[in-house]
Amino acid sequence: MTSPSIFRDDRKLTYLNAEGANKPLISPLPHDILERARKYRLERLRAEMAKQDVTALLLFDPVNIRYAFDSVNMGIWTAHNPLRYALIFCDGPGIMFEFRGCEHLNDGLAGIDELRTSSGCMFMSHGNRAGERLAVWADEIADLMRTHGGGNARLGVDRIEPEGAFALAERAMNVIDAGQITEIARSIKSADEIALMRWTIRVCEAGMARIYDHSVPGVTERELWAHLHFENARSGGEWLETKLLTCGPNTNPWYRECSDRVCQSGEMISFDTDMIGPYGYCADLSRSWTCGYTPMNDTQKRLYATAREQIEHNMALLEPGLSFADFNTQSWRIPTTHVDYRYSLALHGVGMADEWPVVLLHPDFEHNHEGQVEEGMVLCVESLIGEPGSESIKLETQVLITADGTERLDTFPWEM
């Protein structure tokens, strides 16, 4: 895949597309890369199931379903309406439960051995008959577990209404949290997954360039954010997980969502992409720059340089085998003036969304879990720097852990 070209002139940043600046990006990746990634992901799940002695996974989370089968259908809607699900046996079939009339959406997905019609049991869809539907659904799952489970009733479930868990328990299923399997499985990427992720990052950076090119006085925060949506949608992407783009005083405190506030010349524009792009992979990148391409003032320069220092220091530590505890001990120390405005974490995993592991920033690390950096992980290195009365600088880069250390997957330039 040809690397994109990025350059600046006096007024804007241009991100050159071989297809042309006004064309959607069309993936050049051959289909066999996707097929190998699908096979690898399902094998990762089954290997972790075997390790944890779980006979099957019952998945409602659309991101987990995509990871397992690459089956996609109304991802945002099904994220809050658990009416579509997958049942994957460690030593048995992979079964997709699809909406009636949508079966064709699973054509050509080799990981699916059997396709069934999903059985909804939500109050929204069945009202006062939801209890009847719940019994039908639970009986079907329990019957499949008896048929394919080999006597092991341990069932990992990721998202389920309380009544669903109770109904399965009543049918002698030992329900456990599937997150301890899916998160560990998803944490190590194959070379094919990385190729797919690189393409999502390519699309994301084209969207970031659109934001940059429109960062002129008089534009609203929402108008700027729409440029990332536009590039992602027209180039085959999925959705944005957040709406984190603000300017000037809206940047501090962080976590305000974009609004109709008009950006003024010289104000800092800060954002975090959280973009689920083509192939379902996440590009989680953050940048900050001034509206109107003005030189930064002294405070903006100082804050930006501090954020860059944090990113570079922590990224340089990463290597396979580094424990989270050792990373914390060696990690960059945030100056006191910025502590109350800090981001709560220093690192987090990323794949088809933000993922395990999460490594908290040193003031909060006592609450962190155990673990270590491993080859094949993709980690986002984070920085948020602000102080009383200032704007916030938000920076983030996405790195692959290699045998030798790290490789940055994003190429969008820093401001300093």
- 260-289 pLDDT, tens digit per residue, is 999 999 999 999 999 999 999 999 999 999
* The pLDDT value given to residue 127: 81
* The pLDDT value given to residue 25: 94
31 is written with which tokens? 């289909």
* The pLDDT value given to residue 17: 55
Report strand pairing: 378-385 vs 354-360. Answer: unpaired
Which amino acid, residue 329? Answer: T
Query: 229: Cβ–Cβ under 8 A, 6 or more apart, which residues?
Result: 207, 240
Helix, coil or strand: residue 187:
coil
Query: In the chain, what percentage of residues exceed pLDDT 90?
Result: 89
pLDDT in tens, 2-11: 344 454 555 5
Q: Map tokens 């991802």 to a residue.
A: 75
Confidence check: pLDDT of 82 > 60: yes
Q: Which helix (H) or strand (E) holds 196?
A: helix 191-213
- Mean pLDDT of all residues in 119-134: 83
Which amino acid, residue 309? Answer: E
CB 334 within 8 A of CB 313: no
* The pLDDT value given to residue 14: 56
CATH topology of domain 55-177: Creatine Amidinohydrolase; Chain A, domain 1 (3.40.350)
Lowest mean pLDDT among 18-27, 139-148, 402-411: 18-27
* The pLDDT value given to residue 117: 96
Integer Cα distance of 252 and 242 in angstroms: 17
pLDDT in tens, 358-392: 999 999 999 999 999 999 999 999 999 999 999 99
Confidence check: pLDDT of 16 > 90: no
Band the pLDDT of 196: cuts 50, 70, 90: very high
87 is written with which tokens? 């049942």
Instruction: Report the phi/psi class of residue 286: left, alpha or beta, with left for phi > 0 and alpha for psi in -120 to 50.
Output: beta
* Model pTM score: 0.94
- Quick one: which of 163, 181, 185, 197 has its CA closest to 275? 197
Query: 191: Cβ–Cβ under 8 A, 6 or more apart, which residues?
Result: none
Confidence check: pLDDT of 19 > 70: no
Question: Rounded to the nearest 10 degrees, what angle do helices 191-213 and 31-51 cross at?
Answer: 120
* The pLDDT value given to residue 15: 54
Q: Is the peptide bond before 357 cis (omega within 30 degrees of 0)?
A: yes
Question: Hey, where are the domains in the chain?
Answer: 55-177, 188-408
Confidence check: pLDDT of 13 > 60: no
Query: In the chain, what percentage of residues exceed pLDDT 70?
Result: 95
Give backbone dihedrals phi and psi of 176, rounded to 5 degrees, phi first: -125, 165
- Mean pLDDT of all residues in 179-184: 97
Integer Cα distance of 392 and 380 in angstroms: 19
Helix, coil or strand: residue 168:
helix
pLDDT in tens, 332-360: 999 999 999 999 999 999 999 999 999 99
- Mean pLDDT of all residues in 320-324: 98
Q: Which helix (H) or strand (E) holds 80?
A: helix 75-80
Higher pLDDT, 124 or 69: 69
Band the pLDDT of 22: cuts 50, 70, 90: confident
* The pLDDT value given to residue 2: 39
pLDDT in tens, 201-231: 999 999 999 999 999 999 999 999 999 999 9
Confidence check: pLDDT of 1 > 50: no
Domain at 188-408: CATH code:
3.90.230.10
